[in-house]
Amino acid sequence: MELSKNMETAINKQIQAESYSAYLYLAMAAYCDSVGMPGYAHWLREQCEEELAHAMKFYHYVVERGGRVVLEAIQQPPTDFGSLLSLAQEVYAHEQKVTGLIHALYDLAAAEKDYATQVFLQWYINEQVEEEDNARVIVEKFKMAGGHPNILFMLDQQLGARE
């Protein structure tokens, strides 16, 4: 069974959203590198690669379902994030936004009785629980650090250990 045109269009928009997420996290990594936080920059580059993998997973799904991938322009991300805490809060807010986009896709699949897409999207729903939790924990750690250089150094080291 092929994807409906509505679902194909919606997934193409999600490919754009996942690609923007990657671009945003890469911009955030560049910011962290510029303020001496190479560990957090590493964490964000890993996040960038993960988002690109998510986009490609959607890409392949559209193709497997007989649809056509149509790529849309990706908006330029911000270049300044104020503070490390505000950057971490932006990551968390962005992950919450992505969760909403995934839920909207699931709602569309349910409305169209597209069971294959509902099953496919379940992986993303579970993934977003993990993504939001990771982002929330990092926000809490930056709040606890309170700008203290030694604590920020240790946090940066911890974030840099991400594989």
Domains and CATH numbers, the chain: 5-160 (1.20.1260.10)
Helix 5-34 to helix 84-111 angle (10° resolution) is 170
> pLDDT tens digit string along 11-28?
999 999 999 999 999 999
Mean pLDDT in order along the chain per 10 residues (163 residues): 95 98 98 96 97 98 97 96 95 98 98 98 97 96 89 91 82
What six digits make up the tokens of 98?
């992505």
- pTM for the complete prediction? 0.94
Q: HEC profile for 5-43?
A: HHHHHHHHHHHHHHHHHHHHHHHHHHHHHHCCCHHHHHH
- Distance from C-alpha of 22 to C-alpha of 52, rounded to nearest angstrom: 6
Length of the chain counted residue by residue: 163
